[in-house]
């Protein structure tokens, strides 16, 4: 069910949510958190679809704040989506116009679920320091996406320089399966020190930079970050050199990776690029600070794993 409320107020939105709960059986009880999505109009529908899909795992009240024309008439247009149009949660789309476009917290606060954690998500451009944003200050977790910015590596550098506990970025979430596969490969004998690591990925891939920093942190060895693949292609391959031979995990294209290990036949593994909803659902599984991500971005900030060139 979709209910449009043009030219409305937060009080009217709350009353309509109560009416829907009473009249249509749409419940707001049992929600585990409030997800505040701060997005421009051109990304709004993709963000809503991702939040709706993620809500099937994490029933939430999703507040989608769409920043509109700042030069127009000041006002608030809302749309409430419940039932099949909102997954296992409820979605309130808030279109801010005029002077209200820069007052997201003023419309978010009255609509927060009482006594429920708050997560803020910026699917595109985000504040330089999310923890100091008016909505970010309300949230236990703050999710950004450097890869969705105009200059992904510059955005990642800003995230690293301005990191606060509770911050995370979907460029990090996209490395989860790579990290798991590499850790599993290193758990097998021979248990030798990795002497050198090489990480290849697209020149504009923040996930490649983060994976290189993580390997340097965990393996305490030199790491090269080299370029491979077209812009937007993401991670390409990782090589871990040991005395017994090199472990190589490569996904040149498509959704299948090849894991090569000394003395073993090559293994073909499913390693598709992760969708927005899947990454969001993973990040909503934890509401405490991601300590490992914090360590990795601090290492990246300090320049320990700067890109070494092109391959």
Q: Domains of the chain by range and CATH?
A: 2-116 (no CATH), 176-310 (3.30.360.10)
pLDDT at 71: 80
| Contact status, residue 168 vs residue 141, Cβ threshold 8 Å | yes
Report the mean per-residue pLDDT for the chain.
92
pLDDT at 82: 87
pLDDT at 307: 46
Quick check: 67 pLDDT over 90? no
Helix (H) or strand (E) holding 121: strand 118-121
Quick check: 122 pLDDT over 80? yes
Range among 64-68, 101-105, 166-170, 249-253 rated most confident: 166-170
C-alpha distances (whole Å) from 115 to each of 17, 121, 139, 178 are 18, 19, 12, 36
Distant-in-sequence, close-in-space partners of 115: CB < 8 Å, separation ≥ 6: none
Distant-in-sequence, close-in-space partners of 28: CB < 8 Å, separation ≥ 6: 17, 21, 61, 90, 113
pLDDT at 277: 96
In the chain, % of residues over pLDDT 70: 95
| Contact status, residue 255 vs residue 4, Cβ threshold 8 Å | no
Quick check: 234 pLDDT over 50? yes
In the chain, % of residues over pLDDT 90: 80
pLDDT at 70: 82
Closest CA relative to residue 85, chosen from 114, 55, 65: 55
Mean pLDDT of 60-76: 90
pLDDT at 69: 80
Closest CA relative to residue 242, chosen from 185, 200, 193: 193
pLDDT at 310: 37
Strand order of the β-sheet with 167-169 is 2-5, 75-81, 90-97, 60-67, 33-40, 118-121, 141-144, 167-169
Mean pLDDT of 29-44: 89
pLDDT at 85: 75
Range among 1-15, 29-43, 65-79 rated most confident: 1-15
Quick check: 209 pLDDT over 50? yes
pLDDT at 24: 58
Distant-in-sequence, close-in-space partners of 256: CB < 8 Å, separation ≥ 6: 268, 269, 270, 271
Mean pLDDT of 97-103: 91
| Contact status, residue 249 vs residue 175, Cβ threshold 8 Å | no
Q: Which tens digit of pLDDT belongs to each residue from 267-284?
A: 999 999 999 999 999 999
Quick check: 305 pLDDT over 60? no
Quick check: 161 pLDDT over 50? yes
Quick check: 123 pLDDT over 50? yes
pLDDT at 202: 96
Quick check: 61 pLDDT over 70? yes
What CA–CA distance (Å, rounded) separates 185 from 214? Answer: 16
């Amino acid at each position: 069910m979709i209910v449009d409320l043009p030219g409305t107020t937060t009080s009217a939105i709350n009353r309509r949510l109560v009416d829907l709960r009473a009249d249509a059986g749409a419940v707001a009880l049992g929600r585990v958190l409030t997800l505040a999505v701060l997005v421009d109009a051109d990304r709004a529908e993709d963000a809503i679809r991702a939040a709706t899909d993620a809500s099937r795992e994490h029933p939430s009240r999703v507040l989608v704040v769409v920043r509109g024309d700042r030069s127009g008439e000041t006002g608030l247009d809302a749309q409430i989506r419940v039932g099949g149009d909102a997954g296992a949660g409820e979605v309130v789309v808030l279109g801010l116009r005029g002077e209200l476009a820069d007052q997201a917290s003023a419309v978010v606060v009255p609509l927060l679920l009482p006594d429920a954690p708050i997560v803020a998500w910026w699917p595109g451009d985000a504040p330089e320091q999310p923890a100091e944003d008016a909505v970010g200050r309300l949230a236990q977790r703050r999710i950004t996406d450097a890869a969705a910015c105009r200059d992904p590596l510059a955005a990642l550098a800003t995230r690293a320089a301005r990191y606060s506990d509770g911050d995370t970025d979907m460029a990090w979430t996209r490395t989860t399966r790579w990290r798991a596969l590499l850790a599993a490969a290193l758990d097998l004998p021979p248990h030798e020190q990795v002497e050198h690591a090489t990480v290849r990925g697209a020149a504009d891939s923040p996930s490649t930079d983060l994976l290189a920093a993580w390997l340097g942190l965990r393996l305490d060895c030199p790491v090269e970050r080299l370029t491979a693949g077209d812009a937007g292609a993401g991670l390409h391959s990782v090589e871990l050199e040991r005395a017994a031979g090199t472990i190589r995990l490569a996904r040149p294209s498509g959704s299948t990776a090849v894991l090569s290990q000394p003395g073993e036949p090559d293994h073909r593994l499913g390693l598709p690029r992760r969708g927005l909803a899947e990454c969001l659902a993973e990040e909503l599984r934890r509401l405490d600070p991601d300590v490992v991500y914090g360590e990795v971005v601090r290492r990246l900030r300090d320049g320990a794993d700067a890109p070494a060139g092109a391959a």
